[in-house]
């Protein structure tokens, strides 16, 4: 068996020298050193030898197996190197070329504005309350002091569903009623919430108006909340959002669910108040409607209006984003045109 072992060893070494590719190397490895390889089988047969020959044979077989393994590793490295050089020559690799860019997504411009709005209101102690997109007519209108057939309903062109009395919310204000019922604990607890979300109006689509858009409602209730609290809080928000030097003004307005009602304007972000197409040459842009919560609405939310008061506001993040970036047409927001979206 010793001669057989030496013969296999010499043959294996000689063959290894002539191998030039990975596949032939793998075949060689299987044939001599694999589980059923010739050297392995001989080693396993050590036990069949007479006792006195076993140790010498085992030692020699192990030594030859190790020598073949080392020779194999050396040859395999040389072959790999040669293959690499060959492939570089055949198809040269220019390591100085820029890599392939991995496409990275970004946040929608409205989402960016919304997150900024959430962060500012959170710093000011307001938590987010998510109300429903599909509302009932009562909560969207009647409980907000807009009874059926009241002409104020004309301010909100409504999408109705096939279920009578079920509509898509036209504004986030119905969330005021739901927040009061959820957090007010039968009119005993103060509330500070913002209510963001989609609103839907059956409107003529134009450069400033979509049929689907976001609003962020705000609501604060308490025992001593006054108009000055509303003005101070909104002014603080506007300064944190648009810059500490921005001037803010309030104009009288009308909403059925607030009394008194106001509109909030800030100095135009683009022209600084000089007048430009975005502010329609007025120097001001509107950012929100607001007012003191109407006593009827407080009552519908479970509060006694003789003891409790509150303020509310509603702003439109798409219009705010348009003003900040000078975007001329609201329709870009939902067209999913990457040329538009990638600019933010």
Question: Does 258 interact with ligand FA5 (rule: CB under 6 A)?
Answer: yes
Distance between CA atoms of residues 56 and 42, nearest Å: 13
Q: How many other CB atoms are there within 10 angstroms of residue 35's CB atom?
A: 7
Angle at 213 between CA 208 and CA 217, to 5 degrees: 110
Judged by CB under 6 A, the stretch of 5-13, 100-108, 146-154, 201-209 that binds ligand FA5 is 201-209
Long-range Cβ contacts of 274-282 (<8 Å, 24+ apart): 277/328, 278/322, 278/323, 278/326, 278/328
Distance between CA atoms of residues 200 and 301, nearest Å: 23
Question: Does 213 interact with ligand FA5 (rule: CB under 6 A)?
Answer: yes
Judged by CB under 6 A, the stretch of 6-14, 37-45, 130-138, 207-215 that binds ligand FA5 is 207-215
C-beta of 316: minimal distance to ligand FA5 in Å? Answer: 2
Distance between CA atoms of residues 44 and 58, nearest Å: 9
C-beta of 205: minimal distance to ligand FA5 in Å? Answer: 8
Question: Does 255 interact with ligand FA5 (rule: CB under 6 A)?
Answer: yes
State the pairing for strand pair 284-293/309-315.
antiparallel
Question: Does 201 interact with ligand FA5 (rule: CB under 6 A)?
Answer: yes
C-beta of 218: minimal distance to ligand FA5 in Å? Answer: 7
Is the sign of the CA dihedral 223, 226, 228, 230 positive or negative?
Answer: positive
Quick one: 203 or 236, whose CB is closer to ligand FA5? 203
Question: Does 184 interact with ligand FA5 (rule: CB under 6 A)?
Answer: no
Distance between CA atoms of residues 273 and 325, nearest Å: 16
* Largest separation between any pair of C-alpha atoms in the chain: 115
Among residues 27, 136, 138, 203, which is the contact residue for ligand FA5, using CB under 6 A? 203
Among residues 289, 294, 321, 327, which is the contact residue for ligand FA5, using CB under 6 A? 289
Quick note: the x/- pattern for ligand FA5 over 162-181, rule CB under 6 A, is ---------x-x--------
**Total of chain residues touching ligand FA5, rule CB under 6 A:** 22
Cα of 270 vs its chain's centroid, Å: 28
Quick one: 153 or 201, whose CB is closer to ligand FA5? 201
Quick note: the x/- pattern for ligand FA5 over 302-341, rule CB under 6 A, is ----------xxx-x-xx----------x-----------
Tokens of 155: 């301010």
Q: Where are the beta strands (DSSP E) in the chain?
A: 127-128, 134-136, 166-168, 191-200, 212-222, 248-255, 258-267, 284-293, 309-315
Question: Does 217 interact with ligand FA5 (rule: CB under 6 A)?
Answer: yes
Judged by CB under 6 A, the stretch of 46-54, 92-100, 223-231, 284-292 that binds ligand FA5 is 284-292
Question: Does 158 interact with ligand FA5 (rule: CB under 6 A)?
Answer: no
Nearest to 237 by CA among 255, 216, 214, 259: 216
**Site residues for ligand FA5 per CB under 6 A:** 171, 173, 201, 203, 209-210, 213, 215, 217, 255, 258, 286, 289-291, 312-314, 316, 318-319, 330
């Amino acid at each position: 068996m010793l001669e057989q072992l030496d013969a296999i060893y010499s043959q294996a070494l000689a063959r290894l020298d002539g191998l030039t590719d990975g596949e032939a190397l793998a075949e060689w490895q299987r044939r001599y050193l694999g589980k059923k390889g010739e050297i392995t089988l001989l080693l396993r047969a050590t036990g069949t030898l007479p006792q006195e020959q076993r140790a010498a044979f085992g030692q020699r077989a192990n030594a030859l197996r190790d020598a073949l393994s080392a020779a194999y590793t050396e040859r395999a490295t040389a072959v790999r190197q040669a293959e690499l050089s060959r492939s570089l020559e055949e198809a040269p690799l220019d390591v100085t070329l820029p890599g392939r860019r991995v496409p990275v997504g970004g946040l929608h411009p409205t989402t960016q504005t919304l997150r900024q709005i959430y962060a500012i209101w959170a710093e000011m102690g307001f938590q987010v309350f998510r109300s429903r997109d599909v509302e009932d007519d009562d909560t969207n209108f009647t409980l907000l002091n807009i009874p059926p057939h009241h002409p104020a309903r004309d301010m909100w062109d409504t999408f109705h569903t096939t279920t009578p009395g079920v509509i898509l919310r036209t504004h986030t204000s119905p969330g005021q009623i739901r927040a009061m019922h959820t957090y007010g604990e039968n009119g005993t607890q103060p509330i500070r919430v913002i209510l963001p979300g989609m609103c839907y109006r059956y409107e003529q689509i134009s450069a400033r108006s979509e049929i689907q858009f976001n609003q962020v409602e705000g609501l604060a209730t308490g025992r001593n909340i006054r108009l000055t609290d509303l003005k101070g809080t909104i002014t603080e928000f506007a300064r944190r959002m648009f810059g500490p030097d921005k001037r803010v003004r309030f104009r009288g307005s009308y909403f059925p669910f607030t009394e008194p009602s106001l509109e909030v304007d800030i100095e135009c972000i683009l022209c600084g108040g000089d007048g430009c197409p975005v502010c329609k040459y007025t120097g001001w842009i509107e950012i929100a409607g607001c007012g003191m919560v109407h006593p009827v609405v407080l009552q519908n939310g479970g509060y006694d209006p003789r003891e409790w008061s509150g303020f509310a506001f509603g702003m439109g993040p798409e219009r705010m984003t348009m003003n900040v970036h000078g975007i001329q047409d609201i329709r870009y927001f939902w067209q999913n045109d990457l040329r538009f979206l990638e600019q933010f």
